[in-house]
Structure 1
Amino acid sequence: MKSVTPVFYISAVVAILFIIWGIIPESVLPNGNLDNVTTIIQDYIVNQFGWFYLLAATAFLGFAIYLIFSKYGNIKLGRPNDKPEYSYMTWFAMLFSAGMGIGLVFWGAAEPLSHFHTPPYGEPLTNDAAKTAMQYSFFHWGLHPWAIYATLALALAYFKFRKQSAGLVSSILEPLFGEKAKGPLGTLVDFIVVFATIFGVATSLGFGAIQISGGISYLFGVDSTVALQLIIIAIVTVLFMLSTMTGLNRGIKYLSNTNLVLAISLMLFLLFAGPTTFIMSLFTNTFGGYIQNLPEMSFRMTPFDEENASWINGWTIFYWAWWLAWAPFVGTFIARVSRGRTIREFVLGVLLVPTIFGALWFSVFGGTAINLEYFSGIDIMSSINEVGEEVALFAVLEHIPLGAVISVIAILLISTFFITSADSATFVLGMQTTGGSLYPPQTVKFVWGIIQSGAAAVLLWQGGLAALQTASIIAAFPFTFIMILIVFSLIKALREERHAIDMKKRKRE
């Protein structure tokens, strides 16, 4: 453990204290338990600073688009002769798996259906409600979140592979703060990064266990109990720890490719077994509407409509905070697998491929769910209201040919996404707590794997996963300011490099 930094010890202690706080029942701390305190803080941030999240997320998208067309686009993330480590297919698979894979499976049918029944505006269960439902699903999982990931990942990759800096978020700020970025200020920044990653991923592990449990219950009639969820976490923990020990180029690479094959196979089967013409028409129409209305949605607040404001706070603002909380984890991982690509190639790949794939995914799963309700009169939403969002996918597949077989494949896909996310997170946490090492020690990754799974298991047992999710979103608030500083720091570094390149050219001439 000689290679670990103070961030490791600080983060591990704080994580354990938070877990202990999370399992203290409300009867012991009536107003001071984790759930109550974090909910109060989150409600205040969302209600008072929702506009800030909207502006920040949109600014990151604007910055990413600017980089594509800027004079910095040809700068390589690495030395001039560096080649990409991974093929496009493997690279895209890793982006997809680490970024949103398990979330797309969880929300693919549930979110459009929820918006169809409770739209952000207009009458529910109408043609317009269906279009709006799909449009906002595209919006929440499209360009904005991937622009947040791209901004941080690009900065990390640029400084790590081009400038040979430590692969830490704090190292990106050196152009602005100099040596101070290596002192207490840098430690604070890296702690916030690790904090958001631990609790964001632990929460996702918990929700992944809930969906796998819900699928098993829905298919085989087994009760979806906490005991079953804990068994699932234990099994997956063993599997992802085994994968972690094999390293990035074996475990995560192979799992990511497997995820992509399974996901595309599942999507294509439902596309052709379901209402194909309706799905593709909905995709084409909605994607056009998404691009057309993107500026309006990006800045949409409702100061005169309290009911509508609560919808935006509960969905859009919540998502923007959630993506910012996930940015340290996803950004660090994307940076690690992107050496050798140019800035233009990197930003285009990270923005466009996952966005288009995600839109098609929501069209297939959400479109099928809406089609079943709108044209066939099948009430999918009642299953969701009765059990939870975790059964939405299985309730839809039940009405598709070979639905039971496909549901088993879906459970397998959720499991592989589960393993890949946890595997990637242990690597990122290891990297961030060992001074940016590209090959963190197995012992460090093992510790973080146990803490993540332990947090998910303990809070599932106590029913406190929502509190953990809220805690990670609270961490996104200070991290947003760090992200803004990262943009200025990256621009400063790129300008200096571009100036140096231009000077060399002039001397040669």
Structure 2
Amino acid sequence: MSKLAEPETADTAAPGTRVNKTVFIGSATGILAIALWAMLATDNAETVIGSMVGWVSTNMGWYYFLVVTLVVVFVLVTALTRVGKTKLGPDHSKPQFGLFTWASMLFAAGIGIDLMFFSVSEPVTQYLAPPTGDGATAEAARQALVLTLFHYGITGWALYALMGLALGYFAYRHNLPLSIRSALYPIFGKKIDGPLGHGVDIAALLGTIFGIATSLGIGVVQLNYGLSFMFGLPENLTVQIALIALSVIMATVSVVSGVEKGIRRLSELNVILAVCLMLFVLIAGKTNFLLDGIVQNIGDVLSRFPAMTMDTMAYDRPDVWLSSWTLFFWAWWIAWAPFVGLFLARISRGRTIRQFVLGTMVVPFAFILLWISIFGNSALELVMGGNAAFGEVAMNQPERAFYGLLEQYPWAPATAAIATFTGLLFYVTSADSGALVMANFTSHLKDANSDGPKWLRIFWAVVTGLLTLAMLMVGGVTTLQNATIIMGLPLSILLLFIMLGVYKALRVENSLTDSYRASLPNIIAGRSLDARSGRSWRQRLSRVMTYPGPRQAERFIQAVARPALQEVHDELKERGADVVLGEGEAAPHGIHHLDLHVGMAEERVFKYQIYPVQYDTPSFATNASTDSKYFRMEVFSLEGSHGYDLMGYTKEQVITDVLDHYETHLEFLHLNREVPGNTSITEDQVPKDNWEADFISEEERA
């Protein structure tokens, strides 16, 4: 699958981060036991793994097809309905990365050394030995490209989108840990902090490490041949062990030195080199044929995908083919989903669910479609033109296929060197990012932006290399593929629970939207009653044209906002409400903020916060302070800023606004009265108060 760099993080683990001993010991013990078993009892391991894969292929193929189809439908419905407007973060949050940077990182996430491996070998194999029908025909050629794009296409990215959506939504909108177990909170509640949650994280980590090991195993075999092609090195286990050791060392240096920003630049370099290779083959090859093929491949994928996604081949079932191809790919995508989903969540805070899902499913696949169409059709053109020797190599020695294709074009030594260097960078990036993510999965992180300890990242880099070596010793890439199919099965069950958890949480989001819609006329009326408070239209105009500095903002807090919230607090207290009025300073400018919380037993707490948010003073301002910044006193609820400014309100208007929001919250609870307790997503319902980072994009930080 695709492998990528982590977004920029701190060089050291954040204070308060500690190892989750249960998950760490459980997963490490299981993985090391499997690796040692495979190394010490090779024949037995190969026999057992082969038998288990045969059972899964024969008895559970329908299940894999059904699960991945449900995921595709679920993420598309979620994105395209009104709940798709919900943000992965507070309502006021801005995307951390600009659209181009974000799309580039999604683009980088869509390519990896395994794509170089399969983009040539699979189309040729499916053309010469298709699962149904005769080989070496025009229809077999069309089917070969469609099958390759099917295996690398929309379904896999839907799996990534589901996991990233779940992780990002619960971490950034509800302040739960950036962990798989968080997606199950709406179903199991506090139980996720016990054995249930530990079991979920262990299962996710086992699937992840086998998925990573499969990619690294494929990379080792391919790089081994690349070095043999260029320098004459032998293709054997000794060289592969050296490559694994090299990747572990480079990954260790990366995770210890904290060069995630550098790895990000390497990923961008990989993308540039990959595009150059693709354009070279397009221009140096039979360009008209390749362009025709791209257009036809797009049409075939769009027209055939709905039928293929549920095609279990029940009436003429090729079990060996299914386990070697479709079932393997679905299990592989599932195994990679926690890893890539975490990466996608980390770069997508502040984006809506609709932007996230559609971006994840469209941007990377667009590149994959071009890559496979160009390289796959180029390979087919050679085989259809009579180059049987190339076809034989692509089928039986797939690690040689990509280099065999480049050998047919000018400047083969140079393009082979570029391909090898590109593959090596992706290979190392996979090991580095995988170690970081698995360290996070086995840690109690302080927050969603912190990472696991350095020593733990090193440990997982070494263990991943050891597992890769063990599986290569047993039976090479085939055994890695078989192990992935087995490990993907428990993770697929987890996907069903994740969909249920997201569904339950988003139903609450829908009812929250309905409650605001029902209360909107009252809120608008409350804000517009200037005449009732004796305010003239000139005073109103003066308010909207004022850009207050820190002194004016603090004066508003002390003279207007605090007395207003104190009166509401006292009245609620007298009526028996569980109410707290808090106060703090907003760094770095020191202006106070106020927080009114009303407890609702097991339901979602009511929060009304007045918080100073700093903005650049606009150039057209005629009544601004001498500062280049001005402040808005914005209203926040648990979901984030409501986007309007209280500055200039009277005490009575502030009280009216608090009551408007309180009535809206009660309406929200009324709409959810049929299922008591489901409005509270987390036990700690009140998020952190430092909201300003959510208003700042990457470009503004720079």
Shorter-chain TM-score tier: over 0.9
Partner of 1:350: 360
The within-5 A match list for 1:44-123 is: 44-98=55-109, 100-123=111-134
Asked whether 1:370 is paired with 2:370, we answer no
Q: 1:163 aligns with which of 167, 174, 198?
A: 174
Task: Confirm or deny: 8 A CA contact 1:149 1:331 kept in the other structure.
Answer: yes
**CA 61–270 in structure 1, closer or farther in 2 if over 3 Å, else same:** same
Q: Pick which of 201-210 and 167-176 moved more.
A: 201-210
State the alpha-carbon separation in 2 of the partners of residues 468 and 362 from structure 1.
23
State the alpha-carbon separation in 2 of the partners of residues 235 and 314 from structure 1.
29
Asked whether 1:478 is paired with 2:474, we answer no
Partner of 1:204: 215
One-letter identity of the residue aligned with 1:4: V
**CA 128–468 in structure 1, closer or farther in 2 if over 3 Å, else same:** closer
Partner of 2:35: 19
State the alpha-carbon separation in 2 of the partners of residues 262 and 334 from structure 1.
23
**CA 419–87 in structure 1, closer or farther in 2 if over 3 Å, else same:** farther
1:385 CA displacement: 5.0
State the alpha-carbon separation in 1 of the partners of residues 260 and 511 from structure 2.
36
1:172 CA displacement: 0.7
1:157 CA displacement: 0.5
Partner of 2:155: 144
Partner of 1:9: 25
State the alpha-carbon separation in 1 of the partners of residues 182 and 389 from structure 2.
52
State the alpha-carbon separation in 1 of the partners of residues 79 and 41 from structure 2.
51
Q: Pick which of 485-494 and 93-102 moved more.
A: 93-102
Q: 1:389 aligns with which of 381, 384, 398?
A: 398
Structure with the higher fraction of residues in strand conformation: 2
Q: CA-to-partner distance for each residue in 1:332-380, whole Å, 9 max, x for gaps?
A: 2221222111111101111011112111111111111111111253531
Asked whether 1:335 is paired with 2:351, we answer no
**CA 122–466 in structure 1, closer or farther in 2 if over 3 Å, else same:** closer
Could you tell me which runs of 5 or more consecutive residues in structure 1 were left unpaired when the two chains were aligned. Answer: none
One-letter identity of the residue aligned with 2:33: L
Q: Pick which of 35-44 and 375-384 moved more.
A: 375-384
Task: Confirm or deny: 8 A CA contact 2:117 2:399 kept in the other structure.
Answer: yes
Task: Confirm or deny: 8 A CA contact 2:328 2:482 kept in the other structure.
Answer: no
State the alpha-carbon separation in 1 of the partners of residues 260 and 430 from structure 2.
15
Q: Pick which of 332-341 and 412-421 moved more.
A: 332-341
State the alpha-carbon separation in 1 of the partners of residues 476 and 45 from structure 2.
8
State the alpha-carbon separation in 1 of the partners of residues 516 and 98 from structure 2.
32
1:292 CA displacement: 0.5
Q: CA-to-partner distance for each residue in 1:239-276, whole Å, 9 max, x for gaps?
A: 22222234475133212211211111111111111111
> TM-score under structure 1 normalisation?
0.94
Q: Pick which of 310-319 and 447-456 moved more.
A: 310-319
Q: CA-to-partner distance for each residue in 1:58-78, whole Å, 9 max, x for gaps?
A: 111111211221111111111
State the alpha-carbon separation in 2 of the partners of residues 61 and 112 from structure 1.
24
Task: Confirm or deny: 8 A CA contact 1:426 1:449 kept in the other structure.
Answer: yes
Q: CA-to-partner distance for each residue in 1:464-500, whole Å, 9 max, x for gaps?
A: 5544443332121111111011111101101102212
| Partner SS for 1:109 | helix
Q: CA-to-partner distance for each residue in 1:5-24, whole Å, 9 max, x for gaps?
A: 02012111111111111102
Task: Confirm or deny: 8 A CA contact 1:91 1:337 kept in the other structure.
Answer: yes
Q: 1:285 aligns with which of 291, 296, 316?
A: 296
One-letter identity of the residue aligned with 2:41: P
Q: Pick which of 343-352 and 90-99 moved more.
A: 90-99
Q: Pick which of 85-94 and 257-266 moved more.
A: 85-94
Partner of 1:275: 286
The within-5 A match list for 1:226-375 is: 226-247=237-258, 249-306=260-317, 308-375=318-385
Sequence identity (%): 35
| Partner SS for 2:312 | coil
State the alpha-carbon separation in 2 of the partners of residues 445 and 135 from structure 1.
39
State the alpha-carbon separation in 2 of the partners of residues 249 and 319 from structure 1.
29
Q: CA-to-partner distance for each residue in 1:404-433, whole Å, 9 max, x for gaps?
A: 211110001111110111111112101111
Q: Pick which of 133-142 and 64-73 moved more.
A: 64-73
| Partner SS for 2:87 | coil
Task: Confirm or deny: 8 A CA contact 2:124 2:394 kept in the other structure.
Answer: no
**CA 205–93 in structure 1, closer or farther in 2 if over 3 Å, else same:** farther
1:130 CA displacement: 0.8
**CA 424–96 in structure 1, closer or farther in 2 if over 3 Å, else same:** farther
**CA 18–486 in structure 1, closer or farther in 2 if over 3 Å, else same:** same
| Partner SS for 1:299 | coil
Q: How many residue pairs are counted as aligned between the two chains?
A: 502
Higher relative contact order (CA 8 A, sep 6+): 1
Partner of 1:497: 509
One-letter identity of the residue aligned with 2:170: F
State the alpha-carbon separation in 1 of the partners of residues 419 and 91 from structure 2.
42
Could you tell me which runs of 5 or more consecutive residues in structure 2 were left unpaired when the two chains were aligned. Answer: 1-12, 522-702
State the alpha-carbon separation in 1 of the partners of residues 54 and 85 from structure 2.
43
| Partner SS for 2:82 | coil
State the alpha-carbon separation in 2 of the partners of residues 333 and 252 from structure 1.
13
> TM-score under structure 2 normalisation?
0.69
Q: CA-to-partner distance for each residue in 1:316-337, whole Å, 9 max, x for gaps?
A: 1221122112212221222122
Task: Confirm or deny: 8 A CA contact 1:102 1:208 kept in the other structure.
Answer: yes
Structure with the higher fraction of residues in helix conformation: 1
Bigger radius of gyration, 1 or 2?
2
One-letter identity of the residue aligned with 2:24: F
Q: CA-to-partner distance for each residue in 1:79-127, whole Å, 9 max, x for gaps?
A: 2232222344443444354455222111111111111111122221111
